[in-house]
Amino acid sequence: MAVDDRRSYQKFYGIKIDDWEETFGAFANYHYVLVPDYISDGCTTDDDTAANGTHKFLYPAHIKKRYWIEGRIEGEFCLAASGATSTVTDYRVTICKVHDNGTETELATTGWITIDDELGWDATYSIGDEHVYHFWIDCFEEKELTDYERIYLKIQITCDANSIIMHSNDPEWTDVWFDLPLRL
């Protein structure tokens, strides 16, 4: 059976939730998740995490029993200074899948993007500059996923210890989001 050429786009938001934990494949008791819409602000969430390193946001649910990712993936993430002026030197964003046996596979990536951004810190008001990084990933070789696999967004950041990645549960300010082109 041929796959229809029409694409659907699903928007996902990255949040860190403390009210429940997800376990699938290599992700055990995991709190960083992707949601198709923001959840109630009554749920306990964390607004940010230290930015230096790798951040993974798992979509723990089925999209469909069998589907394909194909097209342009576009999104954003937000970094901020915390406690002092900070410097960000590069980042990489990747769409990945994880199998229920724990195998993780990268599907498409931006590659490493070199930047030299300084995020200022205002000690008087204890507030840091925020910078939104827009990304896109061309994924024109279709990537198949089955009911044994889930997608996740991986963001790798090189920065100093004063940088944080924002992932608040706030529809007024979308910190981590992306549109995923699906062929169902």
pLDDT of 88-122, one tens digit each? 999 999 999 999 999 999 999 999 999 999 999 99
Q: Which residue has the higher pLDDT, 139 or 184?
A: 139
pLDDT for 2 beyond 70? no
Domain ranges across the chain: 10-172+179-183
Q: Which CATH superfamily is domain 10-172+179-183 in?
A: Galactose-binding domain-like (2.60.120.260)
Burial pattern 111-122, b for ≥16 Cβ within 10 A else e, equals eeeeeebebebe
State how far the Cα of 172 lies from the Cα of 177, in Å rounded to an integer.
13
Q: What is the pLDDT of residue 1?
A: 41
